């Protein structure tokens, strides 16, 4: 695999990091790339694909933490391989800096360039292992403290028994020590589930799927062995359990450091975690599950140039759980030129907007508590009479959200054992469950 250039751009198009490995692509490639991405409009698509070609130059990019990680070349290589390298470089930089954003990159540009020189040599990828690179990296990171970071919301809470810790605790560098030269012994586990659900016009579920990952970040010294136990009634690829509470995964894969010697017997994973953040296990589930939200949407014509939309969102999870910043969106007919909104009286802090350029309604719900219901009414006015079925020109309704301490698959980390020789030594163990919307859609 050959990479001619690597660079990182901010959302404004500022060049934060730039490395030219082979000098066979023009220096203005970053400007060309950003102009293409910002004003992309090919085949009706407004978002640029991860790989495209301009004047014989291949551009590969991924977006991580609001930053664009980009590689260029002029030869025929596997796009998926280049995209994977870009993701790994982003993860590697985050491991060393603790926080990945524009400010941390600018403060640590010397360290970042040192990492890039070890990761890629004359355009050829060498290694992206945080552990291996520790022997070759000598610059210390300049820490960006969490006080200057934007709030991450309730989804970033780690739990250990009755104790709670903010998610900013995981934003430490794996190579930096605590003040006083000490290193706090702790390990973080994220169970992140991205759900895809499609409802029909009556609110019934047409398709549902969960893509999950168990993510781990270790700050343990001495490379101790870890045992991670999952549900006893976990089944993979088959349904041997008659219990309705059994967790049935369609398929899964594990990190190369995971040993599966006792997995079939007692559903425990043993591993020696490498430095940095890594996925212990990825899994997929299509077994029926209870979706966190129910969406009902109704669109009807109320006059020659008028129509009304009613969207109801019900939170079907426990009242002890709440989520912030739920966003509901719906495309409207292209001749819509004015929209007026009506919200519930108790909808404090909720906002609505009509994006006229994209012909889309946006409804932002500030806080949703389990068991609550929210309703939006929108009156549409058209500039000219619609010809055909209004339903074909509007919708579907889509939602984006993050729900902390909620996991619809019911997959659980039962316990996390750390093998240490000293009985007095007891590292901290933190577990967090987060559910995100991957594709949450309701048809009209």
Q: Render pLDDT for 12-57 as a digit per residue (tens, 0 to 9).
A: 999 999 999 999 999 999 999 999 998 887 766 778 899 999 999 9
Apex 68 CA angle, 62 and 71, nearest 5: 65
pTM over 0.85: no
Give the list of residues 6+ apart from residue 139 with CB closer than 8 angstroms, or none.
108, 110, 111, 114
Q: Give the pLDDT band (50/70/90) at residue 154.
A: very low
Q: Bridge partners of 192? A: 213, 434
Cβ proximity of 110 and 139 under 8 Å? yes
Q: Bridge partners of 193? A: 212, 435
Task: Show the tokens assigned to 199.
Answer: 């409802």
Residue with tokens 């980390």: 413
Q: What is the C-alpha to C-alpha distance for residues 396 and 177, in angstroms, rounded to an integer? A: 50
115 conformational bin, left if phi > 0, alpha if psi -120 to 50, beta if neither: alpha
Residue with tokens 């912030």: 324
DSSP 29: H
Question: What 3-state DSSP class applies to 362?
Answer: strand
At residue 325, the pLDDT reads 80
Task: Show the tokens assigned to 341.
Answer: 């909104």
At residue 149, the pLDDT reads 37
Task: Show the tokens assigned to 279.
Answer: 């996925």
How does strand 428-442 pair with strand 402-404? antiparallel
Task: Show the tokens assigned to 364.
Answer: 């932002």
For 325-342, write each residue's pLDDT tens digit.
899 999 998 889 899 999
């Amino acid at each position: 695999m050959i990479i001619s250039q690597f660079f990182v751009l901010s959302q404004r198009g500022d060049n934060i990091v730039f490395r030219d490995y082979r000098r066979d692509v023009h220096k203005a490639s970053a400007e060309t790339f950003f102009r293409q991405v910002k004003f992309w409009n090919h085949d009706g698509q407004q978002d640029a694909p991860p790989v495209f070609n301009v004047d014989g130059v291949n551009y590969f990019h991924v977006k991580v933490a609001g930053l664009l990680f980009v590689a260029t070349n002029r030869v025929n290589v596997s796009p998926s391989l280049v995209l994977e390298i870009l993701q790994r470089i982003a993860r590697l930089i985050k491991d060393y800096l603790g926080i990945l954003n524009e400010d941390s990159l600018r403060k640590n540009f010397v360290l970042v360039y040192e990492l890039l020189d070890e990761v890629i040599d004359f355009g050829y990828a060498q290694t992206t292992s945080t552990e291996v690179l520790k022997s070759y990296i000598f610059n210390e990171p300049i820490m960006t403290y969490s006080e200057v970071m934007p709030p991450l919301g309730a989804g970033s809470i780690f739990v250990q028994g009755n104790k709670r810790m903010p998610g900013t605790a995981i934003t430490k560098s794996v190579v930096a020590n605590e003040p006083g030269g000490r290193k706090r012994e702790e390990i973080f586990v994220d169970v992140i589930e991205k759900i895809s659900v499609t409802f029909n016009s009556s609110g019934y579920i047409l398709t549902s799927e969960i893509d999950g990952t168990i993510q781990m970040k270790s700050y343990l010294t001495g490379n101790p062995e870890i045992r991670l136990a999952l549900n006893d009634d976990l089944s993979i690829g088959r349904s041997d359990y008659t219990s309705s509470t059994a967790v049935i995964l369609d398929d899964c894969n594990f990190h190369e450091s995971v040993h599966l010697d006792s997995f079939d017997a007692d559903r425990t994973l043993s591993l020696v975690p490498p430095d940095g953040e890594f996925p212990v296990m990825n899994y997929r589930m299509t077994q029926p599950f209870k979706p966190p939200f129910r969406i009902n949407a109704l669109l009807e014509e109320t006059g020659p140039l008028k129509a009304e939309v009613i969207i109801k969102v019900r939170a079907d999870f426990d009242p002890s759980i709440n989520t912030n910043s739920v966003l509901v969106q719906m495309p409207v007919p292209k001749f819509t030129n004015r929209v007026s909104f009506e919200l519930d009286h108790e909808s404090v802090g909720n906002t609505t907007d009509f994006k006229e350029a994209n012909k889309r309604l946006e409804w932002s719900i500030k806080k949703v508590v389990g068991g609550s219901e929210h309703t939006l009414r929108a009156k549409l006015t058209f500039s000219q009479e619609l010809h055909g079925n209004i339903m074909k020109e509007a919708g579907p309704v889509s939602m984006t959200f993050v729900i902390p301490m909620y996991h619809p698959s019911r997959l659980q980390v039962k316990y996390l054992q750390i093998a240490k020789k000293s009985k007095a030594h007891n590292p901290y163990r933190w577990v967090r469950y987060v559910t995100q919307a991957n594709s949450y859609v309701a048809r009209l």
